[in-house]
Structure 1
Amino acid sequence: MYPFLDPESFKQQTASPDLSRLISTNKGFAALYYAVVAIGSQHNDGGSFEAGVGEAWSYFERALSYFQDLIFFRGSLTTVQALMAIAVFSSTMSAFQFEQFMLSEAAIMAQGLGYNRSNGPHEVSQRRTFWVLYFMEKVSCFITGKVSVFQDSNISCAIPDVKESTFVDYDYFFSFLRYARLVSRIHKNLLTINAIQQPALAYNSKVQSLLSELESWRLSIPERFRAGEPFRARLMREPLAQTIALMTHYLYLNALLTLSWTLLHFSAAKLETRQQLDLKRELMRTSRSVLELTKWIDVSPSTPVWMLAVLPLSCLMILFDIVVHNPNHPEASLSLALLDIAGGHFSRLEFASKGTLPCSLIAQFAHLARQYVFEQRENKNKTKSNKPTDSDPVCGARQPDAEAEPPSSSSTNTLPMADIPITGTSQPIDPLPELSRDLLELDPATASLWDSSPIGSNDQLFIPLIDDPSYRIEDFEILGIDLKDLFDYPYPILSGDGGL
């Protein structure tokens, strides 16, 4: 998955009779060797969800013990690879607090050594290492919201052919590099301070362009691996094929969530009501797709934490918000079922971690949502059953429906413009305003994002925004439980011969 090492060369070094001498004299290689052994142990039942526990962690601790030597002495290709191997191990649950730091240090060192401009005939190893590091660092920064060390305008080295990362029909190494370049542009054009301050028309134009690029990237992937298509495990017989397919799906869905939410959050005031609804539907469908795929996640200590917990938890919270704010939506029952599936995934995670991660608490969100929807529907049925009719001897004449059923609180005029509800009417909506037409004319591929079918009264979706002035900040606090504590528990400071 991260082919920054030349397999044959590394195997020859580890099989050499002088391995002990090499480890004792070359601290960069020693850190690389112990990090690779830690990763191997982690994938072969030696890992743990808890920091400082397990055989894999003991090797990882040895690799960490060389950190000062790696940073403060002269850099080399082996040193960069050692930092990358430590970062690969740190992408998992037990050590994820080290990942971003290791990747940043490796990126700084790689650029200092000039690997971003390596194009010589004997620099294949440098190019291979650089581009794997580029993918790892860019995706990590996009997921965590950190600023990337790499400046795309300063990169000129060619992308090498990597046979280990190629199936018969899918060069996933090259595909992932295209994705990393795309999310780098998303971060630069949409998520920086300067980007937010640009005019709305220019901002929305960039969102639509990036959505079109993301769709082009998706269509470039073979159908059996393609995100957005049904996950067919029976077609993936090669080693790592299912893992690569799941990673491809989640990379796409993560970027789509970011773009959909960005457009809805920052641009809703400039969009027609129909477009707002379509964006909310897209957000709901994407969140449900992420949760539907959790059954294919390998719940093990070697799975990256963003796939194992971060992305599923984010989508669970999005879907929970949608369900409790739209209990009468036609697709609420399907969303509740997917919340149950997500709850099962996190319960599996607690079981696999032997209670170290109290993730079954998250499963209670599905129960709360189902109970709330049931109560709302019961109240609605009672209201209908108590409505006066023509034959009612007490009320006499039939009362107008508007008096019998007052509008719900979600239909008041106190909502922000992003959440203006859609009235139930069978009449066609007004033509799009000039701004919206300009956005759709930017690229025909994005025109399908907006549905042109009539809007029914049951189709409306309300999604709360954190900066909605009608909400108090206390409404977003979960009393007694801090969800960050499920994964961000304090780690002991290592000491001793192999400590920090």
Structure 2
Amino acid sequence: MNMEALNPLELPDLGTVRVYIEAYKRSKVMRRIFPVVDTELFEETVSTAYKQSLSSLTYGQASARVCVMAFLTFVSRLPPVNEIVGEFPIAPIDHNMLATRVMFLMPQVLQETASLDSVQAMTMLTLFELSSGNMRALNYYAAVSARLIFMLGGNLNSDQTFIKDPRGRQKQEQLRNLFWICYTIDKDLALRTGQPPTITDENCDLTLPAGYLDRAFLDIEDDDAPFHGPVFPFDLRLSMIKARAHRELYSVSSFQKSDAELLKSIRELDDGLEEWRLSVPPKWRPTMSFSSETSDTNMSMHSVMLRLNYHLCMTIIHQASGRCKAWVQGQSGMMDGVSSSMALSVEASRSSLCYLEAAEHVVVDGVFWTLIFYPMSALLTIFCSILQNPLDPHSREDLERLNVATVMIDRIFSRKLPESEVEHFKLVADFILELKRLAECAIDKAWAEQRAGQ
């Protein structure tokens, strides 16, 4: 990239922007999952960004320009949007160039008053970095997004009946949409990185959006169905369970809990997760376990995300039982309860891999960084289980799962993988092969020692 030729104030061609706005409007699926802009309000943003001189900035214009560039950067990575854009004769978007321009303008944005444009920009950049696998930048953008939302009161569910101005109500509703996007990502990010969440439940009104439960399990992936409102990247109630799991099982204070307190938290979280599962309509409801013998006639990307997140929650809730002192010290009494909890964690991980393998035909291209965390988390849980119990009858089966997972992940994620991500994918594949090798060594060593001792 020629940095000298890079003009951070230069905006993309307005015609190209219009094409992507139209494509985003037409893709009801993406608007349901990623309500990153209100297309009507966004017209004002575009107007502000492109007015006056493009070689200088007036106050408030930096946020508008970054918002436009962030919009293009993110939505141009969405396959359904790109399918529609393909109908128009426009040049492809250079994500890296746009992202670099955004970085140059960031100091100006942060010096302006917090606005809907700045929140939208930061939220879209957060999503872009998530889809790009850039966890460092993702952390930064997610934190800034959260602070801007707090500044504007998006963490509160304001009674919109008191907002007389229709435009004001529209902006408040969009601000809450951005809050929920950031909330779900924040909870997922905390579990992925082990770092504390930026958005704490205690400081938020978590009243679900009006009509959310009625539309959350409609046919989300039907572009011909009427648009009833957003459903967001993750189930909001499941994100709340993730938040609670992190707070009660993985926060600094949770490490001070006694065995009894820890197991009590695990039981309560498990009850909450089961309550959520039973509230899901039968058509979409995840089964507690999934194997190659299980069938699901309703497979889709929506069901994949729902299942993977459910099994992830089951895993993270129950694997915390491994911290019990009774388990570590091999004491009797609590051992049975802890063992069954650990077994549930491993079974949930097996189910994740089995479902992903069964549903690989519905997994869309370009979701490597979005999905890879789930099978990797499952593989590590299974790997640790093998190391802990190499003589267990299931260990050989789990070893074969590691082998199958290597092939499955290659089939799913190597399809149309951008050249820039091939090296990352190779590292993942090599890591899984190393897990398999170490697990096999552990099993062989344990059996050899047992035979030698007989």
- Offset of 1:81 from its aligned partner? 1.0
Aligned residue identity for 1:191:
Y
- Offset of 1:341 from its aligned partner? 2.1
- Offset of 1:85 from its aligned partner? 0.3
Report the aligned-residue RMSD: 3.7
Matches within 5 A, 1:175-324: 176-228=235-287, 230=290, 234-236=297-299, 242-266=300-324, 268-269=326-327, 271-295=333-357, 296=359, 298=363, 300-305=365-370, 307-308=371-372, 310-324=373-387
RCO (CA 8 Å, sep 6+): is it higher in 1 or 2?
1
Instruction: Give the distance between the partners of 1:195 and 1:134, measured in 2 at CA.
Output: 21
Shift in CA distance, 263/128, structure 1 to aligned 2, threshold 3 Å = same
Shift in CA distance, 324/18, structure 1 to aligned 2, threshold 3 Å = closer
Q: Which residue of 1 aligns with 2:143?
A: 104
Query: 1:211·1:256 contact (CA, 8 Å) conserved in 2?
Result: yes
- Offset of 1:327 from its aligned partner? 4.3
Deviations, residues 294-330 of structure 1 (Å, cap 9, x unaligned): 434647544444x21x332232233223335544432
Q: Which residue of 2 aligns with 1:360?
A: 429
Task: Find the partner of 2:453 among 406, 409, 414.
Answer: 406
- Offset of 1:182 from its aligned partner? 2.0
SS at match of 1:322: helix
Is 1:120 matched up with 2:179?
A: no
Matches within 5 A, 1:329-408: 329-348=392-411, 349=413, 352=417, 354=419, 355-357=422-424, 358=426, 359-365=428-434, 368=437, 372=441, 375=444, 406=453
Aligned residue identity for 1:29:
A
- Offset of 1:200 from its aligned partner? 3.5
Task: Find the partner of 1:31 among 66, 69, 72.
Answer: 66
Aligned residue identity for 1:179:
L
| Superposed structure 1 runs of 4+ greater than 6 Å apart | 16-19, 162-165
Instruction: Give the distance between the partners of 2:269 and 2:144, measured in 1 at CA.
Output: 29
SS at match of 1:116: coil
Q: Which residue of 1 aligns with 2:201?
A: 152
From the CA coordinates, give the structure whose radius of gyration is larger: 1
Aligned residue identity for 2:248:
N
Shift in CA distance, 211/257, structure 1 to aligned 2, threshold 3 Å = same
Percent of aligned positions that are identical: 18
Instruction: Give the distance between the partners of 2:378 and 2:233, measured in 1 at CA.
Output: 28
Deviations, residues 22-78 of structure 1 (Å, cap 9, x unaligned): 89462222222222212232234999xxxxx98332233333332212222211011
Q: Structure 1 length normalisation: TM-score?
A: 0.64
Task: Find the partner of 1:63 among 102, 105, 125.
Answer: 102
Deviating more after overlay: 212-221 vs 150-159: 150-159
Query: 2:49·2:64 contact (CA, 8 Å) conserved in 1?
Result: no
Aligned residue identity for 1:314:
S
Instruction: Give the distance between the partners of 1:174 and 1:99, measured in 2 at CA.
Output: 16
Instruction: Give the distance between the partners of 1:78 and 1:276, measured in 2 at CA.
Output: 49
- Offset of 1:114 from its aligned partner? 1.9
Instruction: List alignment gaps of at least 5 residues for structure 1.
Output: 48-52, 237-241, 384-404, 408-500
Aligned residue identity for 2:98:
Y
Instruction: List alignment gaps of at least 5 residues for structure 2.
Output: 1-32, 83-91, 162-168, 221-229
- Offset of 1:289 from its aligned partner? 1.6
Q: Which residue of 2 aligns with 1:483?
A: none
Instruction: Give the distance between the partners of 1:119 and 1:176, measured in 2 at CA.
Output: 23
Q: Structure 2 length normalisation: TM-score?
A: 0.70
Aligned residue identity for 2:395:
A
- Offset of 1:346 from its aligned partner? 4.4
- Offset of 1:102 from its aligned partner? 0.8
Deviations, residues 253-291 of structure 1 (Å, cap 9, x unaligned): 222222111122235447533223312321221221222
Shift in CA distance, 264/22, structure 1 to aligned 2, threshold 3 Å = farther
Aligned residue identity for 1:356:
E
Deviations, residues 82-118 of structure 1 (Å, cap 9, x unaligned): 1000000011244332112111111111112222233
Query: 2:234·2:305 contact (CA, 8 Å) conserved in 1?
Result: no
Aligned residue identity for 1:155:
C
Query: 2:321·2:342 contact (CA, 8 Å) conserved in 1?
Result: no
Q: Which residue of 2 aligns with 1:431?
A: none
Deviating more after overlay: 269-278 vs 60-69: 269-278
SS at match of 2:338: helix
